[in-house]
A and B are shown apart, each in its own frame.
Chain A
Amino acid sequence: MLRVEKLKIANLPSLSFEVGDGECMAVEGPSGIGKTRLARALADLEPANGHIFVDGAERMETAAPEWRRLVRYLSSEPGWWTDTPGEALPSDKKSKDGVLRLLASLNLKPQMLDKPISVLSTGERQRLALVRALIDAPPVLVLDEPTSALDPRNTALVEEVLRYQLINGRSILLISHDREQVARLADLRLQLAPVDEHPGTSQYGAEQVLTDIKTR
């Protein structure tokens, strides 16, 4: 379970919300309003005031590397630091089996692990980054447009994998511009909308609208 109390990031209002085990919250709002900054702050990659809890653990009381094993942030443009994707994945027996299962469910061939990252397509890299993010089973997933580079068929596969994560009790915070995807996956919606606080000036604020969808 992810619980956020009075989190203050840049122009955004003080945010408080809760995403339960097995729940998915969609974050919606126009580009530039701060969705990615919210996602990064949840993983403590950006300084922000306020409290974030995962189950019993509080962000500032947990060592940062340990915190990022609880709150896994997946960037919309994930970076790679190795020549091949395989080298960036854990190599113990248990993880290897998990990697192979995930690859199969995401329509990726195991041989892809040994190919240079530079020859893989954007979509392949995006799905491989999802494998990398899921392999140590973090309880909270913060996904920044995880299907932005994928065709409808592969998008459906990723959504199936995410549904499986939810069934297993993980909490997901999903940034998506795809309204249909939000309808398919999300239980809750966090809408960040611009407010013109001072008409006539360029001041730019935002307000938080929390909606409980509970469609499923």
Chain B
Amino acid sequence: MTYVPLDISDLVLAATLMLINGAVSWAFALGLERTLLINSVRMTLQLAMIGFVLKWIFAQTSPVWTAGLATIMILVAGYEIISRLSRRPKGFAAYLLGSGTLLLVGTLGTGFAVLGIIGPDPWYQPRYVLPILGMVLGNAMTGIALTTSTLLESANRDRAAIEARLSLGANRFSAIGETLRLALRTGLMPILNAMAASGIVALPGMMTGQILAGLDPIEATKYQIMIMFLIAGATALGVVIAGYGSVLLITDSRHRLRLDRLQPASA
């Protein structure tokens, strides 16, 4: 098993496939030619850039640079969560909810995998830490965004029912309990589906990558199984924290529903 490197001419050859997209856009008058061109260039530049950044950071093997890039990843993923909410908490609370939760589950999940399971030497080797953090964040982000948006939207829609329960003497957690359960279930659905489909419907990207890089498929599979459990655990933790955090955000200590703390996304 040998790894076959690609050179620039291989990439140019692959890029000619974009002519198909261009032809489709032209034939159906979709008007997407410009977007296609810009996005192709953007994708190429972004990936090339991250390639050089990673190469440089891998060469340093410095905990500081690794932590620096990890922080940027967490902030960007946190921002991505907020941008997916059609109703979001006002002010700083929104970012605390998104990035704060990701910081916690990202650190715990990656730390568990690197220190507890893989054990590279030194433990902060960026070639282990950063890809694992990326996979944890990507999946936790989806779950957290789904849970939070479901909770905030359902609480807004079901405000009369929630306030009816509060009026009858329920505390805030039981009054909003049905809504929270729905939100948690929604947030966990993608990772549960991914676990069911992986290996049959979909070959996970990391495993495919390791196989292409020449690793024995059995070894690649072992890594993938570990990663699936890891991201499932991290997503579950993130979804629960974000769910309860959202409930605390839209209620107060007097067990009132405080939807006035939310604003529409456009604001």
Contact = CB atoms under 8 A, between A and B. Distances in A.
Interface of A: 43-47, 64-66, 68-69, 72-75, 77-81, 129, 132-133, 136
B161 to A, nearest CB: 4
Interface in B157-171: 158-171
B247 to A, nearest CB: 15
Given A64-B255, A68-B167, 7 more contacts: A45-B167, A64-B171, A65-B166, A75-B160, A79-B159, A79-B162, A81-B158
A65 B169 contact: yes
Contact of A79 (B164, B171, B255, B256): B164
Contacts of A79: 158-164
A64 B169 CA distance: 8
Given A65-B171, A77-B160, A81-B178, A44 B165 contact: no
Nearest to A81: B161
A133 B159 contact: no
A75 B158 contact: no
Given A45-B256, A46-B256, A66 B160 contact: no
A44 to B, nearest CB: 6
Contacts, number: 61
Contact of A81 (B164, B171, B256, B257): B164
B34 interface: no
B254 interface: yes
Interface string B130-170: 00000000000000000000000000001111111111111
A72 B163 CA distance: 12
A75 B163 contact: yes
Contacts of A129: 164
A195 B208 CA distance: 73
Nearest to A72: B167
A83 to B, nearest CB: 11
Contact of B166 (A45, A78, A132): A45
B48 to A, nearest CB: 54
Contact of A45 (B161, B163, B170): B163
A102 to B, nearest CB: 15
A89 to B, nearest CB: 10
A75 B164 contact: yes
Contact of B168 (A46, A47, A64, A133): A133
Interface residues of B, number: 20
B131 to A, nearest CB: 44
A43 B169 CA distance: 10
Nearest to A142: B167
Given A45-B163, A75-B160, A64 B256 contact: yes
A43 B254 CA distance: 11
B256 A73 contact: no
Contacts of A78: 160, 164
14 contacts: A43-B167, A44-B254, A44-B256, A45-B167, A47-B256, A65-B255, A68-B167, A68-B169, A73-B167, A78-B160, A79-B158, A80-B164, A81-B164, A81-B165
A75 B167 CA distance: 9
B79 to A, nearest CB: 31
Contacts of B178: 81
Nearest to B164: A79
Nearest to B179: A81
B169 to A, nearest CB: 4
Contact of A80 (B161, B167, B257): B161
Contacts of A132: 164, 168
A110 B235 CA distance: 46
Contacts of B252: 47
A171 to B, nearest CB: 17
Nearest to A132: B168
Nearest to A78: B164
